[in-house]
Amino acid sequence: MKKILITGAGGYIGSNLVPYLLKHKYRVLAIDRFFFGNYLKKNINLKIIKDDIRSLKKDYFKNVYCVIDLAAISNDPSGEIFKKETFDINYRARLRNAKISKHMNVKKYLLPSSCSNYGRIRNDQIADETFKLNPLTNYSKANSMAESSILKLNTKNFNPTVFRQGTLFGCSPRLRLDLAINGMTYGIFKNNKLPVMRDGNQRRPMLHMKDALRAMKFFIENDHQLGGEIFNVGSNENNYSINDLIAIFKKKIRKKFKLEWYGSPDKRSYFVSFDKISSIGFKAKYNAKNGIDDLLKYFKKNKTIQKKENITLEWYRELEKWNNIIQEVSKDSKILYDL
Ligand SMILES: NC(=O)c1ccc[n+]([C@@H]2O[C@H](COP(=O)([O-])OP(=O)(O)OC[C@H]3O[C@@H](n4cnc5c(N)ncnc54)[C@H](O)[C@@H]3O)[C@@H](O)[C@H]2O)c1
């Protein structure tokens, strides 16, 4: 059984990826600070370590076949507020992890980057992996820096691969409602209002969670020359403008609903080509409609879904706020008890 080290294993993607790989007969070493809680169930082939990816021990990488380095400050708004941390975690720590992986004879290192590195492109263009990057935010700048430094480590025996994911949608025990389709579906479910980020013309490739998991397994198992390569992960059919998504919701949801516009016009806009990953045999299976169906079912089952944890930036702010309060009022690490 091959051992896979997953950082960020408690996150939106990680808490689905861990059970998925266990089911497919991998051993998993799951590492995370678990800022959003730990939803991983015990399993004989799973070891969980609570640690920070800025200072991982070399020992963790012993006998690991593949590292999937998911841990990150994971969206644009959080990256603008926590700038230093975003560069430290998303760029420096992941480069350090890739170097340790190489040193410890790990075979594959997968860097989960983002199509948001393309920033803003003209509507008559479509970005393939050779397209000039235009990272507009700290989050995508850190991703772009990690990509170029880590790919340089490629050798015959150590193969780093970058996968630039579209914006994900779909269910997870650590749900993210700050992702477009997830947030829109939740708005419809909760109060029949569709929250839409201005101005609606912005374009994005979307990626179903189940396809993201399939793609990572595909990278682990694929023996093509993937080392040193970049792949956009998604499918050409799942390139949507936000207005396209509104139209899908209008078709799907029979009753009338209101649009709730928010934010200032989004500068990020990009359609992406997925021909390269398709040429080596990966095809996405799911589209936005499938995701909306899955999410609506999930929301019906899990009625207490709205928590601060589900909005990434709100939750990091909340943790920082309480950390400051606790430091102010505690004595010998205690509040009221056992002084
Ligand atoms: N979700 C998307 O739409 C999407 C799209 C493109 C790329 N990505 C990338 O995929 C990866 C996973 O995204 P996600 O949606 O699961 O995000 P997430 O925020 O749900 O998960 C990130 C996890 O990393 C952990 N973490 C953060 N800093 C850490 C540190 N210093 N040490 C240890 N653990 C730490 C958090 O506790 C969290 O569990 C990220 O790298 C993200 O940039 C996600």
Helices (H) and strands (E) in the chain, counts: 11, 12
Element (H, E) at 167: strand 167-169
Residue 225, pLDDT score: 82
Residue 255, pLDDT score: 86
Instruction: Give the separation between CA 307 and CA 146, rounded to whole angstroms.
Output: 31
What average pLDDT does this structure show over 35-42?
97
The two tokens of residue 59 are 């020992």
Q: How many domains does the chain have?
A: 1
Residue 306, pLDDT score: 75
Instruction: Give the separation between CA 300 and CA 224, rounded to whole angstroms.
Output: 42
Token pair 């682990």 is found at: 220
- Report the separation in Å between the CA atom of 331 and the middle of ligand 1, taken as the mean of its atom positions: 33
150 contacts 94 by C-beta, under 8 angstroms:
yes
Name which residue sits closest to atom 32 of ligand 1, judged by CA. 52
What average pLDDT does this structure show over 227-253?
96
Instruction: Give the separation between CA 91 and CA 204, rounded to whole angstroms.
Output: 23
Residue 320: inside a domain, yes or no? no
Local confidence band at 303 (pLDDT 50, 70, 90 cut-offs): confident
Residue 339, pLDDT score: 63
Residue 328: inside a domain, yes or no? no
Is the per-residue pLDDT at 305 higher than 80? no
Amino acid in position 234: G
Name which residue sits closest to atom 38 of ligand 1, judged by CA. 11
Query: Rounded to the nearest 5 degrees, what angle is found at the Cα of 235, between the Cα atoms of 204 and 74?
Result: 50
- Helical pair 180-191 and 288-301, crossing angle rounded to 10 deg: 50
User: Which has the closest alpha carbon to 53: 35, 77, 80, 79?
Assistant: 35
Lowest mean pLDDT among 116-120, 132-136, 221-225, 304-308: 304-308
Name which residue sits closest to atom 43 of ligand 1, judged by CA. 74
Give the domain range for residue 99.
Answer: 3-314
Residue 224, pLDDT score: 77
Is the per-residue pLDDT at 189 higher than 80? yes
Q: Tens digit of pLDDT for each residue in 264-301?
A: 999 999 999 999 999 999 999 999 999 999 999 999 99
Lowest mean pLDDT among 98-107, 146-155, 203-212, 253-262: 253-262
List CB contacts of 222: < 8 A, sequence separation 6 or more. Answer: 280, 281
Q: Tens digit of pLDDT for each residue in 132-175?
A: 999 999 999 999 999 999 999 999 999 999 999 999 999 999 99
Name which residue sits closest to atom 42 of ligand 1, judged by CA. 74
Q: Mutate which of 13, 85, 168 to test ligand 1's pocket (most atoms within 8 Å of Cβ)?
A: 13
Integer Rg of the chain from CA: 20
Residue 323: inside a domain, yes or no? no
Residue 322: inside a domain, yes or no? no
- Report the separation in Å between the CA atom of 183 and the middle of ligand 1, taken as the mean of its atom positions: 17
Nearest-atom index, ligand 1, CA of 165? 6
Residue 274: inside a domain, yes or no? yes
Residue 12 DSSP label = T
DSSP string, 240-288: EEHHHHHHHHHHH--S--EEEEESSPP--B--B--HHHHHTT------H
Percentage above 70 pLDDT, the chain? 99
Residue 337: inside a domain, yes or no? no
Residue 335: inside a domain, yes or no? no
Lowest mean pLDDT among 81-85, 250-254, 292-296: 250-254
- Report the separation in Å between the CA atom of 229 and the middle of ligand 1, taken as the mean of its atom positions: 22
- Report the separation in Å between the CA atom of 118 and the middle of ligand 1, taken as the mean of its atom positions: 19
Q: What CATH code is carried by the domain that includes residue 178? A: 3.40.50.720
Q: Tens digit of pLDDT for each residue in 313-338?
A: 999 999 999 999 999 999 988 898 76
Residue 334: inside a domain, yes or no? no
What average pLDDT does this structure show over 298-307?
84
- Report the separation in Å between the CA atom of 279 and the middle of ligand 1, taken as the mean of its atom positions: 28
